[in-house]
Amino acid sequence: MRGIESVQRRAGVVFLLPLVVLMLVFVVVPELGTILLSFSEWKGIGAVKGNGLKNFLQLTRDKIFLQALLNTVRVGGVSALVSLVVGLVVAISLQSLGALESVLYRTVIFIPVILPLTIVGLLFAFVFNLETGILNQLLRVLGLGSAARAWLSEPKVAIWSITFVEIWKNTGLPMLMIYASLITIPTSIYEAAHIDGASRLQMIRRISLPLTRPVIRMSLIYLFILGFRTYDLIYIMTKGGPGRLTTTVPVWMVETAYNFNNFGYAASMGVTLAVVILALVGVGGFALRGESYEMS
C-alpha cells in the first residue's frame, strides 16, 4: 500500500511541476517584488530605496485613497453580489426551459462578457447621457421624467451607474458557470423529490443550491476579483471624476504609479486592496460554507 502511495505522490509532483514553474516565474516573483516595493520608494528609474511602513502610514491619511477604497468596495461588492444573484436566478430558470430556447438565452446573456470594454464604456456613456441618453428618454416616455438625471455626474448616482455597467458586463459568467454545474445534477434526484411531493421552490433550496454551492462560491470569488479591479471601464466613462466621485483604488493606483512616478506608494495601495479583497472573500466564503456533496 505504501508503495502505491509513493508512486502516486511521485506522479503528483510531476503533474504539479508545470504549474509550479510557471507560477513561480510569472506570478510569485513579480508579486513578491510588488510587496517589497510597497515598503520602498521607487521612481521608475534608479535605485529602490526602502522606507519601512511610511507608505502605509501615508495611506491612512490619503483622503483620495480612502474615498477610492470606499468606491471600490461599493462597485466590487455590490456588482459581485447582484451579478451572482441574477446569474443564479437566470441559470435556475433556464433549467426548466427547452434545450433550444435555453441555448439562445444563454448565448445572448453571455455576449456582454465577450464585448470589448472600450465599446461597453463608450456605449454606456451615451446610454446615461442626460439629454439624448436612451435611459432618460425611456423614463420620460414612461412618465417618470422626474427620475431622469445626469447618471454619470451626480454625486450620489455616478458610482452606482458604473456598478450597473459592471453588473451588465459580468452577469453572463456566473450564469454560465452555475448552469453548467446545475445540469450535471441527475434528473433522478429531482424525480425522487417530486414523488415525495416537494414543491419547485423546495427543490431549488434542497437540491439545486446545495449541489452547486462550490461553483457559486467560485463565481463569487471571481466576481469579487473582477469588480474590485474595475479600471478600464471607469477610465473610459468618467476618468474617475467628476472630482473624485468615481475614483477606485486601481484608478488612483495607476495614476500614482504612471503619472506621478510613485511606484512604491502605488504598490502599497495594491497590497492594501489585496488584503481588503481577501478579507471580504473570506467573509463571503464563510457565508457560503457547508459540507461538500459527493455525486454518486
Partner 1 sequence: MKRHLLIGCVVLVLATVCAGALAAQGVALTAVTQFGFKSWDQVWSDTMRAWEKKTGNTVKEESVDWNNHEMLVKTGIVNGNPYDIAFFWPERMVEFTRENMALDLTPYMEANNGAWKKMFNQKLLNLGAVNGHYYSVPIHISGSIMYYNKAIFKKYGITPPVTIDDYIAAAKKLKGTGIALMGAKNGVYFHITRSDLSQSAKMAGVFDDWVAGKVSFTTSPVARNFYVKAAQLFKDPEAWYGGVPGCFNLTADELTSAYIKGKVAMFLDNIVLRGFYTADTKDNDLGITFMPALAPDNISIDGGANGFFIPYNTKHPEQAVSLIKQFGGMDYQMRCWKELGIVGALDGLPVTKEAAAVIKYIDPRDIATLSPELGSEIDRSIMNIALGTSTVDQELDYLEQLRLQAINK
Partner 2 sequence: MRCRDLRAKLGKLPPRVMIVLIILIVIYPIFFVIQTSFKTDEEILSNFWGLPQAPTLTNYADAWVKASIGTYFMNSSIVVVTSTVAIVYVAILAAYALARLKVRHANLIIGVLLFTMFLPGEMNVLPMSIMFSKASLMRRYITLILPYVAWQLPLSTFICYNYLLTLPVDLIEAARIDGRREIGILNRVIIPLASPPIACVTIVMFCILWGEYLWAAITMQGGGPRTLPLGLQKFSAYQRIAWGPYTAAVALVIVPLIALFVAMQNKFVQGLTSGAVKG
Contacts with partner 2 in 116-155 (CB under 8 A)?
116-120, 122-123, 126-127, 132, 134
Member of 131, 196, 291, 294 binding partner 1 (CB under 8 A): 131
DSSP codes joined into one string, 77-146? IIHHHHHHHHHHHHHHHHHTS-HHHHHHHHHHHHHHHHS-HHHHHHHHHHHT-TTT-HHHHHHHHTT-GG
Instruction: Return the axis-axis angle of helices 263-287 and 63-73, rounded to nearest 10°.
Output: 30
Contact partner, 277, from partner 1, partner 2, none, Cβ < 5-8 Å per class: partner 2
Residue type, 17: L
- 147 belongs to the binding site for partner 1 (CB under 8 A): no
Q: Is the distance from CB of 250 to CB of 231 less than 8 angstroms?
A: yes
Residue 214 or 241: the one with the smaller Cβ distance to partner 1 is 241
Of 1 and 155, nearer to partner 2 (C-beta) is 1
Q: Is 233 in the site for partner 2 (CB under 8 A)?
A: no
Query: Which CB, 210 or 242, lies closer to partner 1?
Result: 242
Q: How many whole angstroms separate alpha carbon 245 and alpha carbon 141?
A: 29
Cell numbers for 285: 466564503
Assess contact for 138 and 52: CB atoms under 8 A: no
Interactions with partner 2, residue window 234-253 (CB under 8 A): 249-250, 253
Q: How far is the CB of 97 from partner 2 (least distance, A)?
A: 7
| 254 touches partner 1 by CB under 8 A | yes
Rounded Cα distance between 87 and 191, Å, is 25
Q: Which stretch binds partner 1 (CB under 8 A): 106-114, 130-138, 200-208, 269-277?
A: 130-138
Residue 205: strand, helix, or coil:
helix
**Residue 241 interacting entry, from partner 1, partner 2, none, C-beta within 5 to 8 Å by type:** partner 1
How many Å separate Cα 160 from the centre of its chain?
A: 15
- Of positions 12, 30, 33, 44, contacts partner 1 by CB under 8 A: 44
Cβ-based nearer residue to partner 2, 90 or 207:
90
CA 281 to chain CA mean position, Å: 11
CB of 157 to partner 2, least distance (A): 18
Q: Please report, to the nearest 10 degrees, the dihedral formed by the alpha carbons of residues 81, 83, 89, 90 taken in order.
A: -170
Cross-strand partners of 41: 49
Among 75, 207, 215, 245, binds partner 1 (CB under 8 A): 245
Q: What part of residues 36-55 is at the interface with partner 2 (CB under 8 A)?
A: 37, 44
SS3 content of the chain, % helix, strand, coil (to 5): 75, 0, 25
125 in contact with partner 1 (CB under 8 A) = yes
- d(CA 172, CA 87) in angstroms, rounded, equals 7
Q: Which of 126, 186, 275, 278 binds partner 1 (CB under 8 A)?
A: 126
Q: Which DSSP helix (H) or strand (E) runs through 40?
A: strand 40-41
The identity of residue 92, as a single letter, is: I
Residue 247 to residue 202: CA distance in whole angstroms: 43
Residues in 77-96 at the binding interface with partner 2, rule: CB under 8 A: 86, 89-90, 92-94, 96
260 binds, among partner 2, partner 1, none (CB under 5 to 8 A by kind): partner 1
Binding site for partner 1 (CB under 8 A): 43-46, 63, 122, 125-126, 129-132, 149-150, 152-155, 158, 235-239, 241-245, 254-255, 258-261
